[in-house]
């Protein structure tokens, strides 16, 4: 430690790694006479600080005999660091960039994510969590921001990262995200989108449409009914049936989008990337519907960063696309043209593991897209556990099977647990193969909250402590797994 501190005083780094101390070489930060470095001492990370300036004095920590200070990775110290190093605070990236969402449910995947993205033409949305995910993991948005900022510090990542208040529905959560400094907000409009319109017959559709006020009907009819719109090389046409569906499905959602934008986004004195999510519903977003929503938002002067349609086929959690790839390509081409026409980016949810469609997305968006991943990063952590701590994996797998139906209430999946090979027929060396089988992937994917919160009768963690302890000891293996898996996403997306 003394040698590390001495070299740090000289503004340089001694690379070392032992059971007692590990130095993160890329983490060197300097401000005036103060030098900072991230180290791990007996399994716990600290910032080693040397100097005598304002930054050194502002950081909370214990001063050692050799004159350096060991500062814990607290929220308070994160706020101090952000005052001196702007790249440790989230930023907005705007419509023209390629962005990639990296939801980190565990709070430890950030360094691996940034290491994976280094040198690629893509900007990370590093802090990305929904309220549902926070509830299932017991974390807060402050935890999410702190973890992202310290990941940027550890990796010396100076290109900037974003922070996404993901799939928010409640105004209180939106205000909280903005107050905390989140730079992206994804508005989940699913509760404003009726799910029964697609199933109405022609008579029922007419009857439901006639229930709208004459003023609303006349306004929409003047703008869309029996009209065609040229979108680049594509044409979008509204016959009466498709027109009525669009009006009935999105008539309530569009004013909600406009209201949130005017009240919370437009009034903020900084840039916020505002995303519209209409994908968390069983109603597919036809190209006509996409144009209809985009055109109305444009008319209402709602400036959005991206829109996430509900594409044809199935975008289920943690597995590849299920559906007709030819139909997907035909519709994606038009979706991309609509996004280009109105100037926003196309957003892909759930973007985890949709390897068969990534080349199509790359082809038609030409790099102007946003892709969200989250659960796949948890699965890579579990993959690491299966390799490094087989006993723990077996216990987690068995518990997940017992609680599968409880977890399924939160997600739309088509998992068939009867197709998962029984544990007693799998050797330790074969356990990672579970992460290659769709049913097993989804089993582990959707039970993450249950597994992390599981306790025994005395209130002690069943898995969580051992889980995090293993990943802390095997962080290089976890990073390697993330780089391979997330790297595959980025390679197929052409970035």
Active-site choice (133, 166, 279, 479): 166
The continuous run of DSSP H or E covering 100 comes out as strand 99-102
How far is CA 443 from each of CA 123, 331, 387, 424, 455, rounded to the nearest angstrom? 30, 30, 18, 17, 19
Q: What is the pairing mode between strands 99-102 and 123-130?
A: parallel
Is there a catalytic annotation at residue 275?
Answer: yes
CA nearest 472: which of 385, 400, 386, 393? 385
Phi, psi angle pair for 274, to nearest 5°: -100, 115
How far is CA 327 from each of CA 38, 230, 276, 306, 349, rounded to the nearest angstrom? 50, 21, 23, 22, 18
Instruction: Count CA atoms closer than 13 A to 243's CA, side-chain side.
Output: 17
Q: Is 45 annotated as a binding residue?
A: no
347-362 burial, b at 16+ Cβ within 10 Å, e below that, comes to bbbbbbbbeebbebbb
Q: How far apart are CA 211 and CA 138, in angstroms?
A: 44
Q: What is the pairing mode between strands 345-348 and 306-308?
A: parallel
Q: Is 167 annotated as a binding residue?
A: yes
DSSP 353: T
Burial class of residue 326 in the structure, from the number of CB atoms within 10 Å of its CB (0-12 exposed, 13-18 middle, 19+ buried) = exposed
Three-class SS of residue 427?
A: coil
Residue 449 near residue 134 (C-beta atoms within 8 A): no
Its sign, for the CA torsion 468, 470, 473, 478, is negative
CA nearest 316: which of 438, 487, 419, 403? 438
Q: Is 317 annotated as a binding residue?
A: yes
Is there a catalytic annotation at residue 146?
Answer: no
Active-site choice (34, 275, 353, 479): 275
Chain centroid, CA 430 distance in Å: 30
Alpha-carbon dihedral angle through residues 485, 490, 494, 495, given to the nearest 10 degrees:
-140
60-73 burial, b at 16+ Cβ within 10 Å, e below that, comes to ebeeeeeebbbbeb
Residue 5 near residue 67 (C-beta atoms within 8 A): yes
Would you list which residues are annotated within the binding site?
A: 167, 317, 349
Q: Please give the positions annotated as active site.
A: 166, 275
Would you list which residues are annotated within the binding site for a divalent metal cation?
A: 167, 317, 349
């Amino acid at each position: 430690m003394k040698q590390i501190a001495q070299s740090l005083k000289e503004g340089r780094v001694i690379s070392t790694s032992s059971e007692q101390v590990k130095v993160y070489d890329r983490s060197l930060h300097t401000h005036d006479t103060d030098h900072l470095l991230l180290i791990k001492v007996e399994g716990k990370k600290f910032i080693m600080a040397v100097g005598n300036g304002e930054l050194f004095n502002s950081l909370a920590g214990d001063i050692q005999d050799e004159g350096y200070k060991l500062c814990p990775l607290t929220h308070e110290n994160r706020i101090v660091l952000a005052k001196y190093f702007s790249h440790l605070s989230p930023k907005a990236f705007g419509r023209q960039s390629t962005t990639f969402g990296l939801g980190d449910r565990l709070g430890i995947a950030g360094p691996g994510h940034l290491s994976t993205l280094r040198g690629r033409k893509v900007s990370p949305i590093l802090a990305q969590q929904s309220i549902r995910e926070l509830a299932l993991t017991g974390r807060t948005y402050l935890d999410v921001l702190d973890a992202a900022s310290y990941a940027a510090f550890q990796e010396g990542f100076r290109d900037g990262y974003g922070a996404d208040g993901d799939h928010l529905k409640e105004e209180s959560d939106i205000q909280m995200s903005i107050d905390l400094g989140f730079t992206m907000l994804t508005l989940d409009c699913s509760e404003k989108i009726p799910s029964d319109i697609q199933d109405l017959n022609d008579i029922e559709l007419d009857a439901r449409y006639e229930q709208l006020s004459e003023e609303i009907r006349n306004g929409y009819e003047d703008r869309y009914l029996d009209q065609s719109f040229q979108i680049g090389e594509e044409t979008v046409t509204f016959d009466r049936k498709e027109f009525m569906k669009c009006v009935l499905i999105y008539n309530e959602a569009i004013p909600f989008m406009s209201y949130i934008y005017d009240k919370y986004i437009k009034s903020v004195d900084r840039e916020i990337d505002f995303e519209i999510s209409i994908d968390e519903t069983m109603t597919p977003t036809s190209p006509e519907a996409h144009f209809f929503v985009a055109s109305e938002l444009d008319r209402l002067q709602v400036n959005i960063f991206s829109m996430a349609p509900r594409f044809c086929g199935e975008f289920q959690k943690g597995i590849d696309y299920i559906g007709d790839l030819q139909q997907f390509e035909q519709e994606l081409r038009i979706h991309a043209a609509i996004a280009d026409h109105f100037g926003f980016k196309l957003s892909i949810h759930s973007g985890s593991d949709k390897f068969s469609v990534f080349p199509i997305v790359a082809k038609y968006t030409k790099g102007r897209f946003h892709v969200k991943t989250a659960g796949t990063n948890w699965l890579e952590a579990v993959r690491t556990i299966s390799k490094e701590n087989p006993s723990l994996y077996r216990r987690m797998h068995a518990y997940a099977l017992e609680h599968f139906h409880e977890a399924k209430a939160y997600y739309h999946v088509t998992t068939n647990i009867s197709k998962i090979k029984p544990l007693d027929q799998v050797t330790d060396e074969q356990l990672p193969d579970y992460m290659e089988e769709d049913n097993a992937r989804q089993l582990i994917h959707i039970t993450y909250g249950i597994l992390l919160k599981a306790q025994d009768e005395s209130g002690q963690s069943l898995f969580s402590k051992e889980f995090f302890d293993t990943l802390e000891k095997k962080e290089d293996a976890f990073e390697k797994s993330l780089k391979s898996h997330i790297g595959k996403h980025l390679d197929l997306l052409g970035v």
